């Protein structure tokens, strides 16, 4: 019998600093299985939701529920000059409007990064904040409400590439290095630092790497996971 490689030995997990598979299904915390141990606390009760495949997702009401991890515990995501990758399974409620946050590592609007969906143009976006200014990239018309999609973005230097359902999509814009605040910045899932842009719909399995994982890895993750999400 072939030996199964351990989690840390799998090539896809090289440089992974966040992995939230939502295995719990109950309770008010979801646990990071990467070495970073960036465990997320529930705020205002997002609801555990079983999928037909028996995977667990979280439903967010778009009003006030989200996940958070304090700045001191999520410093591994304070990306500045590093390349990085962000990835999450997303489901946008048909009634969702304007923009909703997938995840962000920020505390004030002058530092950190924000990964979000803008429903008016069905776009996914990454914004990096730099002490009063910001740069961002986006990809429009790349998802549909009312169905699961895998949203990913890679940042390499001042360029970035979005992926939807394992495939690259047209990406516009340039990026500068996000600034890390002296007082730290916390990880938020499902809302922005301003207590706005609350997600309306479902999300699961947020991941982050301190490298550009590339198109091949994106395609492999989609191939391995899409059937369990009914797409």
Domain 21-229's class? mainly beta
pLDDT classification of 182: cutoffs 50, 70, 90: low
CA distance 187 to 101: 12
Higher-scoring residue by pLDDT: 184, 222: 222
Mean pLDDT of 89-111: 93
Q: Is the torsion defined by CA of 215, 209, 201, 141 positive or negative?
A: negative
pLDDT digits (tens, 9 = 90+) for 184-221: 789 999 999 889 999 999 999 999 999 999 999 999 99
Mean pLDDT of 29-39: 96
pLDDT at site 16: 97
CA distance 226 to 191: 25
Alpha-carbon distances, residue 227 vs 53, 54, 183, 206 (angstroms): 8, 12, 42, 18
CA distance 65 to 120: 22
pLDDT classification of 1: cutoffs 50, 70, 90: very low
pLDDT digits (tens, 9 = 90+) for 120-170: 999 999 999 988 888 999 999 999 999 999 999 999 988 999 999 999 999
Beta bridge partners of 92: 201
Tokens of 212: 């550009």
Helix (H) or strand (E) segment spanning residue 221 = helix 214-225
- Cα 198 to chain centroid, rounded: 14
Percent of the chain with pLDDT over 90: 81
pLDDT at site 33: 96
pLDDT at site 108: 79
Helix (H, G, I), strand (E, B) or coil at 163: strand
pLDDT at 36 over 90: yes
pLDDT at 45 over 80: yes
pLDDT at site 3: 53
């Amino acid at each position: 019998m072939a030996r199964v490689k351990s989690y840390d030995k799998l090539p896809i997990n090289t440089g992974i600093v966040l992995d939230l598979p939502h295995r719990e299904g109950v309770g008010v915390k979801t646990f990071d299985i990467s070495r970073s141990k960036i465990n997320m606390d529930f705020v205002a009760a997002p609801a555990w939701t079983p999928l037909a495949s028996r995977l667990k997702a979280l439903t967010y009401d778009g009003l006030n529920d989200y996940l958070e991890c304090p700045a001191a515990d999520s410093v591994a995501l304070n990306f500045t000059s590093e390349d990085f990758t962000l990835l999450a399974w997303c489901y946008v409620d048909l009634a969702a409007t304007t923009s909703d946050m997938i995840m962000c590592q920020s505390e004030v609007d002058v530092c950190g990064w924000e990964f979000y969906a803008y429903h008016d143009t069905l776009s996914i976006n990454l914004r990096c904040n730099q002490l009063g200014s910001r740069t961002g990239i986006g990809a429009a018309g790349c998802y549909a409400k009312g169905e699961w999609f895998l949203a990913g973005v890679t940042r390499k230097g001042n360029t970035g590439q979005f992926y939807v359902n394992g495939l690259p999509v047209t990406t516009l814009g340039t990026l500068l290095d996000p600034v890390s605040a002296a007082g730290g910045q916390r990880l938020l899932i499902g809302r922005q630092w301003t207590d706005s842009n609350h997600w309306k719909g479902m999300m699961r399995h947020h991941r982050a790497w301190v490298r550009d994982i590339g198109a091949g890895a994106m395609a492999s993750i989609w191939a391995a996971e899409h059937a369990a999400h009914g797409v």
